Amino acid sequence: MAKFKKVLLEDMVQIASNISEDGQAVGIIFQNLEISLGGYKRGPLVTTRVVSITIPIAESDTDILVQQDIRGSVSVDQGARAILVAHLSGKTNLIDLPKHTCNHEDFQYSFDSTLPAGVDYQATFFLLVERDSNDEDLGVHLVVDSLDIELGQPDSGKK
């Protein structure tokens, strides 16, 4: 007899992750963490996508320096914009993406932040794309494809 196995949302964000043997680094590859506009008339002028991940931290009795690298690509026509906000371990970063690219242009950005003792790591990505008119030839596409995270030495609190 046939049975349902599970329900899949075709555009849902999926991840593949790998934690290093020493537990000091995590690599995350995203599938479908992307957003786009264009190719049709009378469509929306703005669209957004938000996704959050949490990674439990063991043995975190002191503040920890966290180094994060975000990679992806963007394609933006004149008259359109792509905005990426990354809230990484308690610090919000507005990422200055390439503008008016004819083809997909790759990007990589690095951020440091301090994770307070006893707090799990959390990252939230807010993607926004917008265009000025309903011109179907006016398009924008933003992709976040990976996040690499590395725990550094405990933060002494000195600046």
Mind listing the domains of the chain with CATH numbers? 36-154 (2.60.120)
Regarding pTM above 0.75, the answer is yes
Evaluated on CA atoms 116, 118, 120, 121, the torsion sign reads positive
Q: Return the higher-pLDDT residue of 150 and 58.
A: 150
* 5-14, 42-51, 99-108, 117-126: least confident range: 5-14
Place of tokens 């990976």: 146
CB 138 within 8 A of CB 79: yes
Using CA atoms, how far apart are residues 57 and 61, in angstroms rounded to an integer? Answer: 10
Using CA atoms, how far apart are residues 145 and 99, in angstroms rounded to an integer? Answer: 19
pLDDT higher than threshold 60 for residue 159? no
Q: Return the higher-pLDDT residue of 102 and 154.
A: 102
pLDDT at 58: 87
Query: What distance lies between CA 102 and its chain's CA centroid?
Result: 22
pLDDT higher than threshold 60 for residue 3? no
> Which amino acid, 136?
E
Tell me the two tokens of residue 21. 């043997």
pLDDT higher than threshold 60 for residue 157? no
- pLDDT category, 6, cuts 50, 70, 90? low
Using CA atoms, how far apart are residues 19 and 158, in angstroms rounded to an integer? Answer: 29
Using CA atoms, how far apart are residues 148 and 8, in angstroms rounded to an integer? Answer: 26
Q: What is the mean pLDDT of residues 80-90?
A: 95
pLDDT at 158: 43
Q: Return the higher-pLDDT residue of 60 and 128.
A: 128
Tell me the two tokens of residue 56. 């439990």
